[in-house]
Amino acid sequence: MHARRLRSLPPYLFAEIDEKKAQKKKEGADIIDLSVGDPDLPTPPHVIEALYEAAKDPRNHRYPSYEGLLAFREAVAEWYKRRKGVTLDPETEVLTLIGSKEGIAHAAFAFLDAGDVALVPDPAYPVYKNATVLADAVPHELPLTEENEFEPSLSEIDVDIAKKAKLLFLNYPNNPTAAGASKEFFKEVVDFAKDYGVIVMHDNPYSEITFDDYKAMSFLAADGAFEVGVEFNTLSKTYNMTGWRIGYVVGNADVLKGIREIKTNVDSGVFQAVQLAAVAALKGPQDVIERNVRTYKERRDALIKGLRDAGIKAKTPKATFYVWARVPESYSSLEFATLLLERTAVVVTPGIGFGAHGDGYVRFALTTTVERIKEACERIKSTLDA
């Protein structure tokens, strides 16, 4: 009944974990879920107020424009100037999205024909690979390993593959590995993209979740980046607005045109009241960002300490709300996640779910309180000590 393309998607590896979690819940277990990549902190009140006001205005009840309100695109441009030092033309270099996931998936359809190659990091946010497959194109995996500091070794890509590749997906600060990219790496990416005529799709949803002295650079701040690519960003993680479904893509105007053309045929934009609430988020008080960072940092420190006490190796991340931890030897990531769930009712994401090179790791999300994180670590410690 279903199209072949649905069967061509990689198998959903969390089915077993989902089932076990549901089973545990039914048994009344006290589950601590550290698998959720979704902020538990609320959207700031002034944003909710702006939505309420905008929702009352009948002008906002009609279809929005495809590219999004100019007021929203101007707010994005101002924000990029202020926070990232990047100058954008709001008319041609900003496009509103229904969350960045939507834009990333549609970008595959705008640039990939059947059989084309897209370069996709492994492990990675699954949308890059799955959108490529849905577009009947071929993902070529770029391993992210501890040895390469979770940055793909571009010089090791087979020249024939590089020549065939149309897209390169990247994501820094990175989900799931929590790695940041260096300025040098972005420069290398620009050179590679120019040499091989590849379009760079940089995904930057964690751009404001950075710790200590670390600041995440926009890919567009690299010399020549506008010539070769775009950057996806979103209000989801920065302003605790995952449910609101608003993001955007910025950068190369021709690339944006391609994404826009696909979108005009499949969706009709973002509710204007949501766009106006997003303007309030981008232009209003920014203390939510600092508060988020402070909260995630406390949780990060509690988790890292607790994991080390339990004998689990994890590097202290300088960005994102994830911790990428090595599983004890002799376990696969799926076996270890299953063990934790069965014995401790702690839910983590097995690395294999992000790609073959994710095996050997599990991802902890810092989207629950310090108390619960400590409790989770104590349970893990007593199980592993036993």
Ligand X SMILES: *Cc1c(COP(=O)(O)O)cnc(C)c1O
Minimum CB distance to ligand X, residue 117 (Å): 21
Minimum CB distance to ligand X, residue 172 (Å): 10
35-56 core/surface letters (b: 16 or more CB in 10 A; e: else): bebebeeebbeebeebbeebee
- Nearest Cα residue to 194 out of 229, 155, 142: 229
Minimum CB distance to ligand X, residue 80 (Å): 16
Window 156 to 175, contacts with ligand X (CB under 6 A): 171, 175
Residues 109, 130: Cα–Cα separation, whole Å: 12
Residues 98, 234: Cα–Cα separation, whole Å: 9
Minimum CB distance to ligand X, residue 142 (Å): 15
Residues 366, 166: Cα–Cα separation, whole Å: 35
Give 78's strand partners: none
Amino acid letter for position 344: T
Reduce the DSSP state of residue 31 to 3 states and report it: coil
Minimum CB distance to ligand X, residue 246 (Å): 8
Is 37 an interacting residue with respect to ligand X (CB under 6 A)? yes
DSSP classification of residue 314: B
By the 8 A CB rule, do 315 and 331 touch?
Answer: no
| Among 177, 207, 210, 236, interactor with ligand X by CB under 6 A | 236
Minimum CB distance to ligand X, residue 120 (Å): 12
Site string for ligand X, 173-212 (x = CB under 6 A): --x---------------------------x-x-------
Residue 79 in tokens: 């924000």
Is 242 an interacting residue with respect to ligand X (CB under 6 A)? yes
Question: Smaller CB distance to ligand X: residue 209 or 352?
Answer: 209
Residue 5 in tokens: 């393309």
Minimum CB distance to ligand X, residue 216 (Å): 13
Give 119's strand partners: 140, 168
| Among 101, 357, 363, 379, interactor with ligand X by CB under 6 A | 101
| Among 96, 100, 238, 367, interactor with ligand X by CB under 6 A | 100
Q: Which residues contact 199 (CB under 8 A, 6 or more apart)?
A: 111, 166, 167, 168, 193, 228, 229, 230, 252, 255
The stretch near ligand X (CB under 6 A) out of 19-27, 235-243, 257-265, 280-288 is 235-243
Window 61 to 80, contacts with ligand X (CB under 6 A): none
Is 99 an interacting residue with respect to ligand X (CB under 6 A)? yes
Instruction: Return phi, psi of residue 134, to 5°.
Output: -65, -30
**Which residues contact ligand X (rule: CB under 6 A)?**
37, 99-101, 125, 171, 175, 203, 205, 234, 236-237, 242, 247
